[in-house]
Chain A
Amino acid sequence: MLKSPKGMPIRFALASTALLVCLAVAKVQAEPSKSFGLGRPATVEEIQAWNIDVRPDGQGLPQGKGNAAKGEAIFAAKCAICHGDFGEGIDRWPVLAGGGDTLNSEDPVKTVGSYWPYLSTAYDYIYRAMPYGNAQTLKPDEVYSIIAYILLMNDVIEDDEFELSDKNFTTLRLPNEENFIDDPRPDTPTLKRIDPCMKDCKLEVKVTKRARVLDVTPQSDDEDAGRGAID
């Protein structure tokens, strides 16, 4: 057998070199988990300033309280211009109240009361995004009061003196919580189930729906009559 200068069998030496090369390549290709030493520690004050999110388990709720009587006045001053005095929604602005028993109808009305699964979403969203155009300015007591008024409009509470606070917030449940389900897609055919037809797939083809029946495309006659909304 050939010997390498140090007396190691050459085949073994080659093999171990190859192994080392492999290891080196693997190391280069692997996701580096080392620290880059970038960024700086966030201060407690900085985290407090931005950490505004609220979860269904109550994490993030600030101290505070309010009731629907107070909330109605705040709502009238800061919210009603878009949402209407009773949360009915002006023009295409979101409807906040009502809509019970409409979700399985042709015209579902999705409101805090009829659709939203968790009340915490109201706190999280109202503070971070409302009033529209003057976000992140409401005081905690104002947010609790507004939410109490929204609950009253949706018949989740009946007493406009009921004090909603960070202490009792998570005890309130919204009626539609149980109606949310996980994503079951794919829920239409895949190649595993069906090979798409290529030839003589139908006997006849008829036009069943036409855009021109009601022309809601921009720059056409009925462009403001479209169905559907995005907000």
Chain B
Amino acid sequence: MSQKKKTSIETDLNASRRDFLRSSIAAGGAIVAGGAAAHADSDPAITQLQEWARYLGDGVDRAPYGVPSEHEKHVVRRHVGWLTASLESSVNFTPLHELDGIITPNGLCFERHHGGVAEVEPDKYRLMINGLVDRPLVFTLDDLKRFPRRNNIYFLECAANSGMEWRGAQLNGCQFTHGMVHNVMYTGVPLRYLLEEAGLKTNAKWIMPEGGDASGMNRSVPLFKALDDCLIAFKMNGEALRPEQGYPARLVVPGWEGNMWVKWIRRIEVGDEPWHAREETSKYTDLMENGKARRFTWEMDCKSVITNPSPQAPIKHDKGATVITGLAWSGRGTIPRVDVTLDGGRNWHAARVDGPSFDKSLHRFYYEFDWNGAPLLLQSRAVDSTGYVQPTKDELRKARGENSIYHNNGIQTWHVKNGGEVENVEVS
């Protein structure tokens, strides 16, 4: 039991000590016994017949809907207890440090609810369009699937991602500092088709998507965005939306703050003015130092974070070949450039963006180097296709003060210590 209660860092450090001892013994043995040591230190993972190599495994259909290996049970979303009043109006975080590539598995996409997960019956799902239209219409889910479909990979980031870090380093793990983001392929129909089906009146300027959940989530979206690239999506990564992601249909607002991507969407009202709903006045407005507040701060700025190593994913190996990896994204386009520093920003190196580069999608970057075992101050700095440079946290504070909660896209620093342990810090 006590073994299980150890934190991952303790376990990892023990593991690296064991590795170190093993390699020391191996080295010592080699000196004493010469060639014979090769036999004595052979790896039992190879020399012993493993159970899985001898006995038959499970047949097909043991898990009709497949689940990850039991050895990956720790790879889960987690929440931060002190952040919210109840789990139904709360958020949990994507375990970014356990993932690679650019796609977030559906079951690991962070959750943010305001009235719990609505369990909508698909046969009773309806989408209404009303307001400044020629013909108020009602669509069923089957109706939606008869419009021409699009497939696009987009990141969804909560505007409050990294919001707990405005006043300084607080949470030890990129899951908690940056985990309110996910990236999946959506299949859906352009919102434009639905609006044109209803016929927009000439004075239409805004839409108000509304959720069918117990919070009735509503936001104002300018019509230009609705007609540009918004989707009504019903699939994510090829399968039906997960209930916690808005099953059976949600709004996709590429590059803009996650709160606008209304889940369980039941209605879209067309209007000539914004609604100034609770989530775009009381919340999701950015309070400046002088008491003024910015509103309708929709776009997600260019941002990046090193996911490995990070506090939940320390370096477990000795000095030598080391891979730094992370994610970068921008609500304004693609990411052509990411720089990485090992010394807290004194010197920067071009990182390698690997894998597909899609508009308003996560990008995966790597920086490979020979670690000499000494402490590191790691940072990543992304530049997006508009030329926007990811700012430092101090630059953000200088522009906005410390009370704005939302849209914190500042450069993150991880302090790698001698043993490979990593801490969330800020540097001068």
- The chain A residues found within 8 Å of chain B, CB to CB, are 31-33, 35-36, 38-42, 46-47, 50-57, 59, 82, 91-93, 103-104, 106, 108, 110, 112, 115-118, 120-121, 124-125, 128-129, 132-133, 135-136, 179-192, 194, 196-202, 204-212, 214-220, 223-231
Query: Complex: how many Å from CA A116 to CA B278?
Result: 8
Interface centre among A117, A129, A192, A227 (most CB of B within 10 A): A129
- Which of B143, B168, B347 is A201 in contact with, Cβ under 8 Å? B347
The B155-177 residues at the A interface (CB cut-off 8 A) are 160, 163-164, 166-173, 176
- Which of B114, B192, B269, B427 is A53 in contact with, Cβ under 8 Å? B269
Contact A116 B80 (CB under 8 A): no
Query: Complex: how many Å from CA A135 to CA B81?
Result: 25
- Which of A50, A59, A92, A215 is B266 in contact with, Cβ under 8 Å? A50
Chain A residues with CB under 8 Å of B115's CB are 129, 132-133, 135
Interface centre among A52, A115, A210 (most CB of B within 10 A): A210
The B176-227 residues at the A interface (CB cut-off 8 A) are 176, 190, 192-194, 196-198, 208, 210, 214-216, 218
Is B295 part of the binding interface, using a Cβ–Cβ cutoff of 8 Å?
yes
Query: Complex: how many Å from CA A32 to CA B89?
Result: 40
Contact B339 A198 (CB under 8 A): yes
Query: Complex: how many Å from CA A206 to CA B391?
Result: 18
Shortest beta-carbon distance, A216 to chain B, in Å? 6
Chain A residues with CB under 8 Å of B194's CB are 39
The B397-423 residues at the A interface (CB cut-off 8 A) are 399-400, 402-403, 405, 407, 415, 423
Is B83 part of the binding interface, using a Cβ–Cβ cutoff of 8 Å?
yes
Closest to B173 in A: A217
Contact A104 B192 (CB under 8 A): no
Chain A residues with CB under 8 Å of B347's CB are 198-201
Interface size class of B (residues with CB under 8 A): 35 or more
Contact B426 A191 (CB under 8 A): no
Query: Complex: how many Å from CA A53 to CA B84?
Result: 26
Interface centre among B214, B296, B297 (most CB of A within 10 A): B214
Closest to B297 in A: A183
A-contact bits for B335-365, CB 8 A (1 contact / 0 none): 0000100011111110000000000000000
Interface centre among A33, A57, A183, A223 (most CB of B within 10 A): A183
Query: Complex: how many Å from CA A209 to CA B400?
Result: 19
Chain B residues with CB under 8 Å of A132's CB are 88-89, 115
Shortest beta-carbon distance, A82 to chain B, in Å? 7
Contact A210 B425 (CB under 8 A): yes
Chain A residues with CB under 8 Å of B281's CB are 116-118, 121, 180
Shortest beta-carbon distance, A27 to chain B, in Å? 15
Chain B residues with CB under 8 Å of A180's CB are 281, 285, 292-295
Query: Complex: how many Å from CA A189 to CA B383?
Result: 11
Closest to A52 in B: B216
- Given pairs A228-B170, A229-B83, 13 additional interface contacts (CB within 8 A): A38-B146, A41-B136, A50-B266, A57-B273, A118-B276, A129-B115, A133-B214, A196-B389, A202-B346, A209-B169, A214-B170, A230-B83, A231-B283
Query: Looking at chain A's contact residues, is the secondary structure mostly helix, strand, loop, or mixed?
Result: loop
- The chain B residues found within 8 Å of chain A, CB to CB, are 7, 78-85, 88-91, 114-115, 128-130, 135-139, 143, 146-148, 160, 163-164, 166-173, 176, 190, 192-194, 196-198, 208, 210, 214-216, 218, 266-267, 269, 271, 273, 275-278, 281-283, 285, 287, 289-299, 301, 311, 339, 343-349, 377, 381, 383, 386-389, 391, 395-396, 399-400, 402-403, 405, 407, 415, 423-428
Chain B residues with CB under 8 Å of A197's CB are 348
Q: List 27 A-B contacts (CB under 8 A).
A: A36-B147, A39-B198, A40-B137, A47-B128, A47-B130, A53-B269, A91-B85, A121-B277, A124-B278, A129-B215, A132-B88, A132-B89, A132-B115, A182-B295, A182-B296, A183-B296, A187-B399, A196-B348, A200-B346, A205-B428, A206-B428, A209-B169, A210-B423, A211-B170, A211-B171, A230-B160, A231-B85
